[in-house]
């Protein structure tokens, strides 16, 4: 087929009059060098769009709309040439564009967007939220992505090293930024740095310049109508020649999260090998007015009817309307199969009252699963945390509700009790007991407040281990948590650590919720075998628990990119210190002298043992509990073995096999622990 086509084209070429041939040649030349374009508005633009992206009738490029957990892409239709030959340096390029992000809630970010250079425009495997519609859990960070992006991120995700919820970052091949800065600009007038709020809904202009010879990348941000500030916001020397291929597509990618933002591009100009033409700011399309308040003010009606009559009519209509609105407001979804769960059902009206209509001031936070509100149930006066999870498919919801209700029977002092659920169209509402001391990460990393002492931390660590042991081994069936981390550990009135959100990760497995970051847990806590097998096991929970131990003892997140390079990955850093015999140095320095050296060392070493690269070498939760309580000696030899070898190169025997081969270590409890 191909050969035949080739033949016909050659024949055609021979027959082609010279004029057409030259035309074709010129056209081809033009395509290869068409590194320039300027769009002052996108009315006549030719772009490849997908997902939520669309061109509005006003000539705006709108990358996302009010759909949550979705993405949109817009790229120049043809790839541009970025190298003269594949071995050569990257051709310099520069671009400028004007954007505006109009959020649902001005105070909560919902992901963001990025300017992108990519070898392909097919992103069907990519995830929204902080993967920005560019990456997913398996290819994030992979060098074969060949993606360069400048992200404008409005979510603070400390797990991927975000510095705040309003930043600009350089992303190479993954969503963990190489370098990022809070959004803003240095004023040319007074030399002061001025913050810019990306979520303000105001248009802002960006300039990106890359000098291929000096390998210098500058990115500059400023409010619209301000001339380009002299100082770049981000300036970095970066060799893009292995990242950028000969031909790359240029464009934008945007994603929404639990909530949404409208991401608009108003104008865009791009040029390779030269200075980018400036945009004509005054001819850019206008943003739609009053985007956030969609309700138009009612038009004044002049009433000529007798006043009494019109008042009567209006009152009847109004009360009918009120009744209808009320009915709709409290409308629930109930299906036959739910009869089995009737006991666990709470009415929407109750929950609505508990939160005064899900008012923003009752919002505790927005997490990967949805919004969480605080409330007081009107009848029982019980304080609750109400989690709203939106979902798409109906099929899987049935399975999920069955699952979650059965998990509601899990009763343990270290688990957050589920009190009930409610269902509306496309929405599942879970009601948990309210935990007055919020989540552990807030106490660990929160600023200002008095920090948690060592005895409190050790108590919480032991509590969480005991809750997890109950889930893994002591309940009627094995339950895997899938998302253990400090932010999923809540503190009750007695400062007991309690695991929350168990089972929620399942909903994602069943395909119920659009794919999100929580596909199989959280970056930084994922056991290495998960990227190969995607099968969660009790050992992958143990791995995450190990990271959690280090997090609590060291008082820092698993990945912190602002740290020096050898300290960025917590696990590697603690491990390196173990090798040097300085493991205690990794403790949270804010503890001061308040710690018990033996306990601290045990927790750090246990953290390393639990994150052993080989799942079978990790202890079970029963063994973890026994080690924490000093019921069995710590298997130092196993850790030394890990120390002495390159973890990736050796085959490990199982934890139990190891214990058996050292009779001095084997104790009743080790052997009896496997059920």
Catalytic residues: 483
Q: Is 307 helix (H, G, I), strand (E, B) or coil?
A: helix
Give the burial class of 65: count Cβ atoms within 10 A of its Cβ; 0-12 exposed, 13-18 middle, 19 or more buried: middle
588 neighbors 621 (Cβ within 8 angstroms): no
CB contact burial 558-581 (16+ within 10 A = b; e otherwise): bbbbeeeeebbbbbebbbebbeee
Q: Kindly state the tokens that stand for 69.
A: 């957990």
615 neighbors 529 (Cβ within 8 angstroms): yes
CA dihedral 347, 349, 351, 355 (to 10 degrees): 180
Residues 6+ apart with CB under 8 A from 635: 609, 655, 658, 659, 662, 665
CA 313 to chain centre: 52
The residues pairing with 235 across neighbouring beta strands, listed in sequence order, are 218
Rounded distance, CA 431 to CA 423, Å? 11
Integer-rounded Cα radius of gyration of the chain? 29
556 neighbors 610 (Cβ within 8 angstroms): no
136 binds ligand NAG (CB under 6 A): no
Compare residues 63 and 484 and give the one whose CB is closer to ligand NAG.
63
Rounded distance, CA 250 to CA 239, Å? 18
Question: Nearest-CA neighbor of 512 among 395, 638, 351?
Answer: 395
Q: DSSP state, 613?
A: S
Q: Kindly state the tokens that stand for 467.
A: 């809750």
258 neighbors 110 (Cβ within 8 angstroms): yes
Neighbour tally for 451: CB within 10 Å:
17
216 binds ligand NAG (CB under 6 A): yes
The site string for ligand NAG over 38-77 (x = CB under 6 A, - otherwise) reads --------------x-x----------xxx----------
Q: DSSP state, 343?
A: G
CB contact burial 522-539 (16+ within 10 A = b; e otherwise): bbbbbbebbeeeeebbbb
Q: Which of residues 236-255 bind ligand NAG (CB under 6 A)?
A: 239, 241-242
235 binds ligand NAG (CB under 6 A): yes
Rounded distance, CA 664 to CA 658, Å? 11
Question: Nearest-CA neighbor of 52 among 68, 32, 35?
Answer: 68
Q: Kindly state the tokens that stand for 350.
A: 């109750």
Q: Which stretch binds ligand NAG (CB under 6 A): 29-37, 234-242, 496-504, 650-658?
A: 234-242
Compare residues 127 and 490 and give the one whose CB is closer to ligand NAG.
127
Rounded distance, CA 13 to CA 661, Å? 77
CB contact burial 44-63 (16+ within 10 A = b; e otherwise): ebebebbbbbebeeebbbbb
Residues 6+ apart with CB under 8 A from 186: 192, 193, 194, 229, 230, 231, 233
Compare residues 180 and 443 and give the one whose CB is closer to ligand NAG.
180
- In angstroms, the Cα distances linking 350 to 248, 334, 381 are 55, 16, 11
The answer on whether 388 is annotated among ligand-binding residues is yes
Binding site, annotated residues: 388
Contact residues for ligand NAG (CB under 6 A)? Answer: 52, 54, 65-67, 142, 144, 209, 211, 216, 218, 232, 235, 239, 241-242
Binding site, annotated residues for ATP: 388
């Amino acid at each position: 087929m191909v050969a035949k086509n080739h033949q016909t084209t050659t024949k055609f070429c021979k027959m082609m009059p010279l004029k057409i041939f030259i035309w074709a040649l010129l056209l081809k030349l033009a395509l290869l060098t068409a590194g320039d374009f300027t769009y002052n508005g996108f009315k006549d633009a030719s772009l490849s769009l997908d997902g939520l992206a669309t061109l509005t009738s006003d000539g705006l490029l709108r990358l996302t709309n009010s759909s949550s957990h979705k993405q949109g892409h817009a790229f120049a239709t043809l790839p541009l040439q970025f190298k003269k030959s594949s071995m050569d340096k990257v051709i310099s390029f520069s671009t400028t564009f004007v954007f505006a992000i109009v959020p649902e809630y001005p105070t909560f970010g919902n992901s963001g967007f990025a300017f992108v250079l990519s070898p392909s425009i097919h992103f069907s495997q990519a995830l929204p939220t902080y993967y920005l519609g560019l990456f997913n859990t398996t290819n994030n960070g992979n060098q074969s992505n060949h993606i360069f992006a400048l992200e404008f991120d409005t979510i603070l995700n400390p797990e991927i090293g975000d510095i705040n919820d309003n930043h600009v970052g350089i992303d190479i091949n993954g969503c963990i930024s190489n370098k990022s800065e809070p959004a803003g600009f240095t004023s040319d007038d007074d030399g002061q740095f001025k913050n810019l709020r990306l979520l303000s809904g105001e248009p802002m202009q960006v300039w990106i310049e890359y000098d291929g010879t000096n390998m210098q990348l500058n990115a500059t941000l400023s409010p619209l109508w301000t001339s380009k500030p002299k100082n770049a916001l981000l300036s970095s020397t970066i060799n893009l020649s292995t990242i950028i291929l000969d031909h790359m597509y240029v464009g934008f990618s945007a994603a929404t999260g639990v909530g949404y933002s409208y991401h608009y591009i108003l104008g865009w100009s791009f040029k390779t090998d030269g200075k980018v033409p400036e945009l004509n700011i005054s001819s850019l399309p206008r943003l739609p007015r009053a985007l956030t308040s969609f309700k138009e003010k009612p038009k004044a009606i002049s009433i000529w009817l007798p006043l009494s009559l019109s008042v009567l009519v209006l009152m009847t209509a109004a009360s009918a309307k009120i009744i209808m609105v009320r009915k709709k407001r409290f409308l629930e979804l109930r299906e036959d199969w739910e009869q089995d769960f009737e006991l666990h059902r709470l009415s929407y009206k109750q929950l609505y009252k508990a939160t005064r209509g899900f008012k923003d001031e009752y919002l505790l936070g927005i997490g990967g699963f949805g919004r969480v509100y605080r409330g007081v149930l009107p009848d029982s006066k019980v304080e609750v945390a109400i989690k709203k999870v939106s979902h798409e498919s109906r099929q899987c919801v049935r399975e999920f509700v069955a699952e979650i209700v059965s998990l509601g029977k899990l009763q343990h002092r270290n688990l957050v009790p589920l009190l009930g659920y409610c269902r509306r169209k496309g929405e599942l509402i879970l009601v948990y007991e309210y935990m007055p001391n919020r989540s552990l990460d807030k106490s660990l990393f929160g600023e200002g407040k008095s920090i948690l002492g060592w005895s409190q931390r050790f108590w919480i660590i032991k509590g969480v281990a005991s809750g997890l042991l109950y889930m893994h081994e002591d309940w009627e069936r094995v339950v895997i948590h899938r998302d253990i981390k400090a932010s999923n550990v809540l503190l009750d009135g007695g400062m007991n650590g309690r695991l929350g959100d168990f089972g929620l990760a399942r909903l994602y497995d069943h395909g119920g919720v659009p794919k999100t970051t929580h596909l199989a847990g959280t970056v930084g806590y994922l056991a290495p075998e998960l990227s190969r097998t995607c099968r969660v096991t009790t050992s992958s929970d143990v791995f995450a628990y190990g990271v959690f131990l280090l997090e609590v003892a060291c008082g820092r997140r698993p990945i912190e990119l602002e740290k020096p390079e050898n300290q960025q990955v917590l696990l590697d850093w603690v491990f390196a210190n173990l090798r040097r015999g300085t493991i205690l140095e990794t403790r949270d320095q804010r503890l001061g002298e308040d710690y018990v050296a033996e306990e601290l060392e045990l927790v750090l070493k246990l953290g390393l043992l639990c994150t052993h690269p080989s799942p079978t070498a990790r202890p079970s939760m029963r063994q973890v509990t026994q080690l924490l309580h000093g019921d069995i000696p710590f298997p130092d030899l196993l850790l030394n073995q890990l120390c002495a070898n390159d973890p990736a190169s050796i085959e490990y025997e199982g934890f139990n096999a190891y214990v058996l081969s050292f009779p001095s270590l084997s104790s009743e409890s080790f052997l009896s622990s496997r059920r």
